[in-house]
Structure 1
Amino acid sequence: MKGYCSRDPEWKKAFVKYVDQEREITNERFPSMALSTVDLEGRPAVRMVSPRGFVGDGFLRISKEDKGQWASDVLTFCTHAQSNKVQELVNTNDVQLVTWLPNTGIQIRCSGHAHLLFHPDNPNYSTLSLDIRHRVWPRDGTDAENKEEEEERRNSKMAGGPMGLVNGSILIDEEYIREQAFLNHSPVIQAWYSWPAPGRVKLADSSLYPMSIPRIEDKAEAEKYEANARRNYVLIFVDVNKVDIVNLKQSTRMLYTRRSNTSWSTTEINP
């Protein structure tokens, strides 16, 4: 089959293992990470973000037809369309994300390039610049050939549905991924995306800052705020090309570097 990674990268296996170990203690689905960008004056800018996870994992299925058979190493997080980080990422899409897992003593640092997907109604909308097909693989590698045959048979009858294999290529529904990321926020976080631009002086009109859109009694007002929230919701896909994992409890450090679409190098370095 063409168009996807040949195997699950070792760095992602380690990432998931350590996050799962931390979750056993904290019950957090995914750890917060510090995002480093370059501001418009060329200076470093760092803030905490809450990643939505990897494309293909959990609620980030690659399409409505995906029943959990696909995985990827594309990390995601989200932001308000009018936040400073959007213009920073448009200007320079080199990013680094780092998380510290205190209970397991693990630091994970991911470097790569950020690709922004705006809502179709947002004036800045454009199609996703990252071809995720080259970052996706069958979750069950031992059954890859059977999955290929099943998907090819189904798609030969669907004339190009939203997901599957057409002429050996995986079809990805990026808009579906972005929508699922939005829907899996709490009502409070969803409402935040309807607010005015972050980082500006707060306005006196409290009605501009609803805490929960479903609680707005006026239906027309609620629909307006929901439309604003969706329009302001940006999902950011990080094409990771380098991962640095330090295990302080074992005094080990592994550096993973992407060599091509389908392979990585692994080097043990000094902590």
Structure 2
Amino acid sequence: MNGYCSRDPEWKQAFVGYVDKEREITGERFPAMALSTVDVDGRPAVRMVTPRGFVGDGFLQISKEDEGQWSSDVLTICTHAKSNKVQELVHTNDVQLVGYLARTGVQIRLSGHASLLFHPDNPNYSTLSLDIRHRVWPRDGTLAEKREIEDQRLATKEAGGPMALVSNGVQLDAEYIREQAYLHHSPVLQAWYSWPPPGKVRLADPALYPLEIPKIKDEAEKERFEANARRNYVLVFIDVNKVDIVDLKQATRRIHTRRGDTSWSIQNVNP
């Protein structure tokens, strides 16, 4: 996580704040969370995943021209293109993520819809179905925010009265985001994406399972494994529409529900 700005929804600010507190104790950049999907037979399927962060944060900048001036509430995870969860998400893209930050005593549950971004060379490649430009906004004090304010002022003046925010002209490169997410994995995790399909019987040939691709001596083999790793790397965008945060130490529970592209309702309920 890479902090938050005042324009981020309250749930994201709380989420990032709790994660930052947890990191002070554990040193871990991202919290592990359980991802729940529906398998092809209609049964629940759960596994642990590690979010990569929110689009616009840190290494998930939205394009080469982005200088850290954008923020969003679109959470990302990643997976292998041949994993079971890919077929599950293609079949039913409803998901839940739940994490428990043991040191801070906070449980966070996020519900939403998943969109899969494959490598362009992958036969399953499709364009991102979720238009996340509407989930991206300028960070406080950046040039992007100043331009948006000026655009809004001019549009309001031309319309002769108050009007809604105009488009902020986000130039978003989804493939650039996917590539940056891949590059910021450790060499060991990058190598995992070059392996045979997850969940299949492990083959006897250890050469099929390199621990680090840069350590492969044969240059042709190295290039082949590197290409396979990139082809198998899938970035998953989670369009969050409901967030349930329970603070056990404070005995509070707040449910955040999306009302529109950028507005949320908040309800205090019993833990």
State the TM-score, normalizing by the size of structure 2: 0.90
Does residue 245 (structure 1) correspond to residue 245 (structure 2)? The answer is yes
Say if 1:28 and 1:217 are closer, same or farther in 2 by CA, change over 3 A.
same
Which residue pairs with 1:68 in the alignment? 68
Q: How far apart are 1:149 and its partner, in Å?
A: 7.5
Q: Report the secondary structure of 1:85's partner residue.
A: helix
Partner Cα separation in structure 2 for residue 260 and residue 122 of structure 1: 33
Offset, 1:145: 4.7
Q: Which amino acid aligns with 1:27?
A: G
Partners in 2 of 1:64 and 1:190 — Cα distance? Answer: 22
Unaligned runs of at least 5 residues, structure 2: 1-5, 152-165
- Taking only aligned residues, the RMSD between alpha carbons, in angstroms, comes to 1.8
* One-letter code aligned to 1:97: L
- 2:264 corresponds in structure 1 to 264
Deviation, structure 1 residue 31:
0.2
| 1:179 partner amino acid | E
Counterpart code for 2:237:
F
Give the whole-Å Cα distance in 1 for the aligned partners of 2:37 and 2:145. Answer: 41
Written as runs of structure 1 = structure 2, the 5 A alignment for 1:99-178 is: 99-140=99-140, 145-148=145-148, 168-178=168-178
**For residues 94 and 205 of structure 1, do their structure 2 counterparts lie closer, same or farther at Cα, with a shift above 3 Å needed?**
same
Deviation of 1:111 after TM superposition, in Å, equals 0.2
Deviation at 1:170, TM superposition (A): 1.2
TM-superposed CA distance for 1:7, in Å, is: 2.8
Evaluate the alpha carbon distance shift between residue 89 and residue 52 of structure 1 in structure 2; reply closer, same or farther with a 3 A threshold: same
1:190 alignment partner in structure 2: 190
SS in 2 for 1:123: coil
Shift of 1:150: 9.2
Contact 2:7 2:140 in 1 (8 A): no
For residues 59-98 of structure 1, the C-alpha deviation after alignment (integer angstroms, 9 at most, x for no partner) is: 0000011111100000000000000000000000000000
Structure 1, 176-185 or 138-147: larger mean CA deviation: 138-147
Q: Displacement of 1:30 after TM fit?
A: 1.0
TM-score norm. by structure 1 comes to 0.90
Q: One-letter code of the match for 1:180?
A: Q
Q: Describe the superposition over 1:159-207 as per-residue Cα deviations: whole angstroms up to 9, x where unpaired.
A: xxxxxxx975312100000000000000000000000000010011111
Give the count of matched residue pairs: 252
CA distance in 2, matches of 1:226, 1:42: 35
Q: Alpha carbons of 1:205 and 1:74: their partners in 2 closer, same or farther (altered >3 Å)?
A: same
Q: How does 1:32-43 map to 2 (within 5 A)?
A: 32-43=32-43
- Alpha-carbon distance in 2 for matches of 1:133, 1:29: 26
Contact kept in structure 1, 2:69 and 2:144, CA below 8 Å = no
DSSP 3-state at the match of 1:29: coil
Asked if 2 retains the 8 angstrom alpha-carbon contact of 1:76 and 1:238, the reply is: yes
When residues 173 and 234 of structure 1 are mapped into structure 2, their CA distance, relative to the original with a 3 A threshold, is same
CA distance in 2 between counterparts of 1:147 and 1:193 reads 41
Is the alpha carbon distance of 1:259 and 1:196 closer, same or farther for their aligned partners in structure 2, counting shifts above 3 Å?
same
* Structure 1 residue 202 corresponds to structure 2 residue 198: no
Q: Is the 8 A contact 1:7 1:141 kept in 2?
A: no
Separation in structure 1 between the aligned mates of residue 145 and residue 41 of structure 2, nearest angstrom: 50
Q: Which residue of 1 aligns with 2:90?
A: 90
Contact 1:72 1:135 in 2 (8 A): yes
Q: CA deviation at 1:137?
A: 1.0
Q: Which residue of 1 aligns with 2:224?
A: 224
CA gap of 1:149–1:9, structure 2 versus 1, over 3 A, is closer
For residue 178 of structure 1, give the secondary structure of its aligned residue in structure 2: helix
Shift of the 184–118 alpha-carbon distance from structure 1 to 2, 3 Å rule, reads: same
2:46 is aligned with 1:49: no
